[in-house]
Amino acid sequence: VPRDREPEVAGPARALGIVGAGQLARMMVEAASRLGVRTVVLAARADDAAALVATEVLLGEATDGDALRALAARCDVVTFDHEQVDLDLLHELERDGVQLRPGVETLRVAVDKAEMRKRLATAGLPVPRYEVLGDGGDAPDAAPDPEELAAAIDAFAAPDGWPVVVKAARGGYDGKGVWPVGGEEAARALCEVAVRARTPLLVETHVDIDVELAVVVARGCDGASVAWPPVETAQVDGVCREVRYPGDLEPDLADRAASLARRVAEVAGATGVLAVELFSSDGHLLVNEIAARPHNSAHWTIEGATTSQFENHVRAVLGLPLGDPSPVAAHVASVNVFGAPSKEAGDPCDRMSGALAVRGAHVHLYGKAPRPGRKLGHVTVCGDDPTDVRERAWAAARALGTPVPGSLDAGAT
């Protein structure tokens, strides 16, 4: 008979509402629990990752106004696990006095790549050369015009050469939303299908990337911000597989990236954690993507920093002072755990012994049902030697069934 009595607590207990109940929400709930903060999650399913650990669970969709209002009625502040939200609906809630953190204006910048590029460029922050096709982000159904698209691609190819990058401003398109266009033939093919896109498109210069960095920033209600040190991320097929602090980043580049990310958070008016993915190209930093929530590239901060991104997100959205983001080890590696390719490999929960036998392996599993390729957890190892921490993190992730991409030399032994 779970929760069949109302809590008998004197006075107003703080409660944090979370839209969505995936692993980010779960790790927010874990941080909130330590701080004595109650959590209420709006979960699509009762067995969503965070629904298994939150103080209270409301079942409903993140785009359902009644569900959102029910959530807001149960808590002091509402934050977000993901960005699949209805901005117009959230705008209404905000107008009605619901404390959304981050607010709608920040979410708009994070959700809409066209809006993001425009806002950052207007503020003088470096972004790849871009052009927005369609209705600039205000009309979600703006279908791009194929001829306009072809002309724009040509206009980028002429000075910069191929490839040219085309991106959906919102959501995805064929599940991905980013298409590098290698030449005229590919451009023609893309223009034919682009009419199906129900979102504005961006055309951008291809950037020759020397290194991909991610910087995660927490910004308080008072505008104060802290940045965790930038990390190097290894992506395979657009999916983050591992994160290394400090990686091979030059300290000067890392400092510039952290400053830039804090400026981005300021321009976006963020409250809470905001992640900035950056390219370094020929010594120049360019903002690639932003996310207005905790981010996979900073899961390492749970054990690797004095204050984790999740704790600082909770602190920030509740109007509390931010904690020290300093790392607590010289080197930290964090490797994502994915479902094994074959079902016979089983559930990582049944393979914990091998992973926990790895010295210093901090294993996080999100309580999600295993499926091949599904992100199910992560492993973090802190230490003094970059190779050693990486090998141990991969050893534990492999023990849990994570396939090792051929492109990553993960110390397979």
230 in Cβ contact with 301 (< 8 Å): no
Q: Of 323 and 411, which has the nearer Cβ to a second copy?
A: 323
Alpha-carbon distances of 7 from 55, 170, 200, rounded to whole Å: 11, 41, 48
Residue type, 54: A
Q: Is the peptide bond before 403 cis (omega within 30 degrees of 0)?
A: no
Give the residue, chosen from 87, 178, 352, 408, that forms a contact with a second copy under the rule CB under 8 A. 352
Owner of token pair 């298994």: 52
411 in Cβ contact with 390 (< 8 Å): yes
Q: Of 49 and 268, which has the nearer Cβ to a second copy?
A: 49
Footprint (CB under 8 A) of a second copy, residues 178-207: none
Regarding 95 and contact with a second copy (CB under 8 A), the answer is no
Backbone angles phi, psi at 33, to 5 degrees: -60, -45
| Stretch of 93-101, 157-165, 285-293, 359-367 contacting a second copy, by CB under 8 A | 359-367
Question: Shortest distance, CB of residue 51 to a second copy, whole angstroms?
Answer: 8
Q: Of 46 and 412, which has the nearer Cβ to a second copy?
A: 46
Backbone angles phi, psi at 50, to 5 degrees: -80, -20
Widest CA span in the chain = 69
Q: How many residues bind a second copy (CB under 8 A)?
A: 65
**Any residues with CB less than 8 A from the CB of 395 and at least 6 apart, and which?**
358, 361, 411, 413
**Any residues with CB less than 8 A from the CB of 250 and at least 6 apart, and which?**
none
Regarding 155 and contact with a second copy (CB under 8 A), the answer is no
Regarding 324 and contact with a second copy (CB under 8 A), the answer is yes
Give the residue, chosen from 44, 178, 209, 329, that forms a contact with a second copy under the rule CB under 8 A. 329
110 in Cβ contact with 291 (< 8 Å): yes
| Stretch of 3-11, 113-121, 148-156, 187-195 contacting a second copy, by CB under 8 A | 3-11
Give the residue, chosen from 210, 350, 385, 409, that forms a contact with a second copy under the rule CB under 8 A. 350
Footprint (CB under 8 A) of a second copy, residues 368-397: 369-370, 376-377, 382
Q: How far apart are alpha carbons 299 and 386 in whole angstroms?
A: 17
310 in Cβ contact with 376 (< 8 Å): no
Question: Shortest distance, CB of residue 7 to a second copy, whole angstroms?
Answer: 4
Footprint (CB under 8 A) of a second copy, residues 296-315: 306, 315
Provide the phi-psi class of 398: left if phi over 0, else alpha when psi is between -120 and 50, else beta. alpha
Give the residue, chosen from 320, 345, 404, 408, that forms a contact with a second copy under the rule CB under 8 A. 320
Give the residue, chosen from 140, 146, 171, 360, that forms a contact with a second copy under the rule CB under 8 A. 360
33 in Cβ contact with 9 (< 8 Å): no
Name the DSSP class of 345. Answer: G
| Stretch of 5-13, 82-90, 225-233, 403-411 contacting a second copy, by CB under 8 A | 5-13
Regarding 29 and contact with a second copy (CB under 8 A), the answer is yes
Residues that bind a second copy (CB under 8 A): 1-11, 13-14, 26, 29-30, 33-38, 45-47, 51-59, 306, 315, 320-321, 323-324, 328-329, 346-350, 352-353, 356-357, 359-367, 369-370, 376-377, 382
